[in-house]
Structure 1
Amino acid sequence: MGSSPVCTITFGRVAPCLPVRDIRAAFAFYSGILGFQKVFENGDPVGFMVLKKDAAEIHLSQNRAHVATTVNVFHMFVSDIDAFHEICEAAGVRIIKALKDKDYGQRAFVLADPDGNRIDVGERRPA
């Protein structure tokens, strides 16, 4: 395979866009439990939001007919997986896969947001 012309192009941020049935309820979850802040919203009524926390960015898009999939919609790294897991458990967040050390050098778990969107959360561990 030859070299692609796209190899000379620098890519910027990539942010997952999550469909949610109730954008206000989703915002309450992502801001109140996970600590994200709204940096943009669009529509009247609001149908789209951009949320940020540190280097992480999530886009929420209202879709009242949304049905969650059984695959993870994105992976997010955190600096203290054990503390984050405790926060999620204390808040009653639905944990899909239990917190455990993985053979590929991460400690991770999978949670579901109120719309059933699955998020794989991990922390890289030294080898």
Structure 2
Amino acid sequence: MNDIADHGVRFGRIAPMVPVKDIGRALDFYTRVLGFTKTFENGNPVGFIILERDQGELHLTLQPTHKAAVFNVAHLLVDDVDALHAVCKQHGVRIIKSLQDKDYGLRAFVFEDPDGNRIDVGQVI
């Protein structure tokens, strides 16, 4: 009985934890550009924030010495990838991989947040 499903355990949401050097700058980006809403913060000064939008949830954690990874740290599925791509371009967000149809059934692109965290965005086609 090594299979967790055999025990009847169901998984709920999984929210990526995104490290940021400047939590105020990150909060501004994710709320102003991507439309998330802050639903929780902790610490004095604030060192942790929960953001939500529709069914998506993202956790920001203050890490002053953070060095961004060279790989994607989160994958976001949306219902209009072209619109989100346009918003990112309008706000001068750095696009790492251009918008294109992938052979695995997604239309996708990758952007960097202000801390260099790479977010892969896709829409099922």
* Alignment TM-score, normalising by the size of structure 2: 0.96
Please tell me the root mean square deviation across aligned C-alpha atoms, in Å.
0.7
**Cα distance in 1 for residues equivalent to 2:120 and 2:70:** 12
Render the CA deviation track for 1:85-125: whole Å, top value 9, x for unaligned. 00100000000000000001100000000000000000001
Determine whether 1:40 maps to 2:40. Answer: yes
SS at match of 1:75: strand
Report sequence identity in percent. Answer: 54
Q: Which residue of 2 aligns with 1:26?
A: 26
1:1-127 equivalent positions in 2, closer than 5 A: 3-7=1-5, 8-125=8-125
> What is the aligned length?
123
Structure-1-length-normalised TM-score: 0.95
Residue 6 of structure 1: how far off its partner (Å): 1.5
Cα shift at 1:5: 4.7
Rounded to whole Å, the distance in 2 between the matches of 1:9 and 1:111 is 34
> Which contiguous aligned blocks of 4+ residues in structure 1 show a shift greater than 3 angstroms?
none
CA distance in 2 between partners of 1:120 and 1:4 (Å): 32
Deviation at 1:4, TM superposition (A): 2.4
